[in-house]
Amino acid sequence: MSSVPSNAAYAKTIVFHIAPMLQAAGFRKRRNAFNRRLENGLVHHFSLRLMSATGSLHGKFALEGGCFVPEAESYGPTDPNPDWISIYNCPIQHHFVKVTPSAVVYLDAKYHAQNPTRTAPYVVQALAAFEKVCSYEQLMSDVHDIAPFNFQTPRGIVQTCIALGQDDIPAAKKILSQYLDACAARERPPQGHMRVVQSWAEKQGLV
């Protein structure tokens, strides 16, 4: 009697089929994840994450993408492995199966393992999206749209960190001041967050 493949086996099959597309674009593979290091220091991350083995999401998976910005470590250190970036190291992230601003559609591992071509469109979408977060000029622009990616660490903080990394203190101070002013202007200013940012800014010599 043959055994039923596990969800981990399904994930392995899916990754096997999408790997050539990502590797052709310069990504290298480690288990169910991929990294692409750019010459400017940014790192792109793409991975298949199996959901909990129990509960309603059993047998489901998500496709996650992120952009690692090394300068952002000065604000919220995530202690990245120098050889490999994980999704939680990325201050810019997106789920490539999201269809609404508030909901993630988790995919069925068994179905996609048995129909591997169904996953390819998400990889195509991801590769196109990564083109929006491949330069510091893009990240420093207030008008450049990085969608579908989102800043998990606020854009103003990431930009301040980048300016600091470039030793452009006047720019860092200006960006930070504009960010804090925008926070203060909200109907309900995030006072706790602003205090954290202010404390960090003092340590960086920005205030």
DSSP-derived letter for residue 161 is H
Strands 43-50 and 150-151: unpaired
Per-domain boundaries in the chain: 7-150, 155-203
Per the CB < 8 A criterion, the answer to whether 106 and 61 are in contact is: yes
- Tens digits of residue pLDDT in 162-206: 999 999 999 999 999 999 999 999 999 999 999 999 999 999 999
| pTM attached to this predicted model | 0.91
Nearest to 35 by CA among 50, 24, 22: 22
pLDDT at 98 over 90: no
* Per-residue tokens: 116: 């591997």
- Tens digits of residue pLDDT in 132-171: 999 999 999 988 999 999 999 999 999 999 999 999 999 9
Between 6 and 33, whose confidence is greater? 33
pLDDT at 1 over 60: no
Between 96 and 93, whose confidence is greater? 93
Per the CB < 8 A criterion, the answer to whether 133 and 149 are in contact is: yes
* Per-residue tokens: 137: 């000029």
| CA pseudo-torsion sign 103, 22, 142, 74 | positive
Per the CB < 8 A criterion, the answer to whether 92 and 66 are in contact is: yes
Task: Give the three-state DSSP class for 150.
Answer: strand
